[in-house]
Amino acid sequence: MPRRGENIYKRKDGRWEGRVLGSGGKYQYVYSRTYKEVKEKKKLLQESINRPTLAASHTSLNAATAFAAWLNGNLTIRVKPSTYESYYRCVTKYVIPFYQEEGNEQLSVQTAMDFSSRINNYQGLSRSYKRKILTIYKTALRELLKDTSEYNTVLNAIFMPRLSGTDVLVLSVREQKLIEMAIVGSNDMKLLGVLLCFYTGIRLGEVCGLKWADIDFEAGTMVVARTVSRVKNFNQTGGKTTLYIGTPKSAHSNRKIPLPGFWIELVKKLKRNSFNDNFFILSDTERPLDPRKYQNLFQTLLKQSGVKSRKFHAIRHTFATRALELGVDIKTLSEILGHSNVSITLNIYAHSMFEQKKKAIEKLNTMYITHTEPTIFAVNNSVVNA
C-alpha cells in the first residue's frame, strides 16, 4: 500500500518503490530497501528532472568517452599498478559498456541510479565485489563531475550494497587442523607461510613480500612493509603481466605484528643454514615468489589435506574469526589486520561479533541462574543439639 499523498509503495519482495513523472510524460522509478532511502532517491530524481541539462563541460560529452579519458589520463602515475588494474577491469568491464547502451550516453542522476541498480542486482557477483565496482565508479565520478552542480545529486544517487557475513568464507576448526597437520608433516618450508597467515591474518601478497630482515627473532615480531602482486602490463613491451613489488594496501597495512612462539621455533628448525637478510623468505632468493604460484601451492595443500577448494583470502577471514572466538578485542584485531578503522572490521565480521554477543548473554544468563538459586547450607551438630 502507498503512503497517503505519495507515489511510494512497498513491493512483495520487501523493497520500496518510488515513482516520478518524467518530463516526457513517462514514469521513472527508484528502488531501495527502506522507505527513507527511496524517498530521498525520489527527491533527487525529481530535482534532476526539473533542473536544466548539465552545462557544457567535459562531463556533457559521451559518458563512455569521459570514463575512458579518465582511465587513460594521469591515473597510471597517481595510483599503484595493482590499484590501476582494479580500476581498469571494473571500468572497462562494467562502467563503459553500460554508458555505451542507448539511452545511457550521458552522466545524470538517472543513469547513476540505473547503473547502481544494475550492479546491485548483478547475479554471480559477491556483495564485496559489487561494493568494489561502485566504489571505483564513485571515484571516477568525483573527478568527472568536479565543480559541476550535479556533483552531490549524482553521487548521492548511488546505492552501495551492505557487506554481509555470507560473503566471508571461513575454514572450520576441523579443516584448519587438517591443513596445519599437513604443513607440519611436510618438509616444504614455503608452507610455513600458510601457517603464518593462519596465525597473523596477513594477506597473500604480504606473505610473498616478506624478507628475512622483516623478522626479529629475538623480539618475536614481524614487520609488514611490502606486498607482491602480478598485474597487467600496460606497456607496449614485455609480457602480458608483470610481477610488482610495492607498498602494502594502505598506510595502516604497513604494520608490526607479534609472532606466535611456535612459528618462530618451526622456522628456526627448518630454515637454511645460511640465508641473506635481503632475500624473500618464501623463495629464499632476491626475487619474490609469484602470488599465483603460491595460490596454486595452497590449492595442492587443500587437496592433500582433504579440504575443499577455497581462495587464499579465506585464511585471513579464518584468522579473524578464530581471534574473535577466543575473545580478542575488536580494536586489537583491527590493528593486526591493518584495517584503517575499526568500523571496517566490524562490518566484515559482524556475523562473528553477533556470535560473541550471544555468548556474552549466555554468560549473563548463567550468572542470573546462579544468583537466584536457593542457597543450600549445611546444618552441623551444634545447631541440631541446641
Residues 6+ apart with CB under 8 A from 103: none
Q: Where are the domains of the chain?
A: 51-162, 173-308
Q: What is the pLDDT of residues 153-188, one digit of tens each?
A: 899 889 888 765 556 789 999 999 999 999 998 888
CB neighbours of residue 36 within 10 Å:
10
Which amino acid appears at position 228 of this protein? V
Report the range of poorest mean pLDDT among 32-41, 107-116, 364-373. Answer: 32-41
Handedness of CA 8, 10, 16, 21 (dihedral sign): negative
Q: At what angle do helices 127-144 and 109-120 cross, to 10 degrees?
A: 160
Which architecture characterizes domain 51-162 according to CATH? Orthogonal Bundle (1.10)
User: Which letter does DSSP use for residue 211 in this model?
Assistant: B
H-helix segments, 151-256:
151-156, 173-184, 192-200, 204-208
Is the pLDDT at 38 greater than 60? The verdict is yes
Q: Could you tell me which CATH number the domain at 173-308 has?
A: 1.10.443.10
- Please report the sign of the dihedral spanned by the C-alpha atoms of residue 245, residue 250, residue 252, residue 253: negative
Residue 291's nearest CA partner among 187, 194, 199 is: 194
Give me the residue label for grid cell 575512458: 68
Give CA separation, 274 vs 212, 277, 285, 323, in Å.
Answer: 11, 10, 12, 35
Q: Cell numbers at residue 227, please?
A: 606486498
- At which residue does the C-alpha cell 602494502 appear? 248
Q: What is the pLDDT of residues 308-320, one digit of tens each?
A: 999 999 999 999 9
pTM, two decimals, is 0.71
If pLDDT is split at 50, 70 and 90, which confidence band does 297 have? very high
Identify the helix (H) or strand (E) that includes residue 320.
Answer: helix 313-325
Domain 51-162 identical in fold to domain 173-308: no
